[in-house]
């Protein structure tokens, strides 16, 4: 599911941007967020409004991303936390 809102309370542009060479698993929900290049998002993950996932990051299946994700890192959990640098 891809979703955008007319505006965000954070003042961030309410747009959904997905970079190049991304893999997004099944049953994921993406709200107004930014996905960089070469990102992998596992099945049944949720990316919330205003989150930014930088290039090369990986999100484990079933994770909920509530904040910005650093590049080339693996995040997992609810809410998603950094597991390691890739």
pLDDT of residue 15: 81
Average pLDDT for runs of 10 along the chain of length 86 = 68 82 94 94 93 97 96 97 96
CATH topology of domain 17-85: UDP N-Acetylglucosamine Acyltransferase; domain 1 (2.160.10)
Q: Is 9 left (phi over 0), alpha (psi -120 to 50) or beta?
A: alpha
The Cβ-side half-sphere exposure at 58, using a 13 Å CA radius, reads 9
Residue-level pLDDT at 6? 66
- The DSSP string of 41-68 is E-TT-EE-TT-EE-TT-EE-TT-EE-S-
DSSP 2: B
pLDDT at 27: 93
């Amino acid at each position: 599911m891809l979703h955008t809102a007319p505006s965000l309370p954070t003042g961030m542009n309410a747009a959904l941007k997905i970079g190049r060479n991304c893999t997004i698993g099944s049953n994921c929900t993406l709200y107004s967020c930014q996905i960089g290049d070469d990102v992998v998002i596992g099945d049944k993950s949720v990316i919330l409004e205003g989150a930014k996932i930088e290039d090369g990051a990986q999100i484990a299946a079933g994770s909920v991303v509530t904040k910005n994700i650093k590049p080339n890192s693996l995040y997992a959990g609810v809410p998603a936390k950094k597991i390691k640098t890739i």
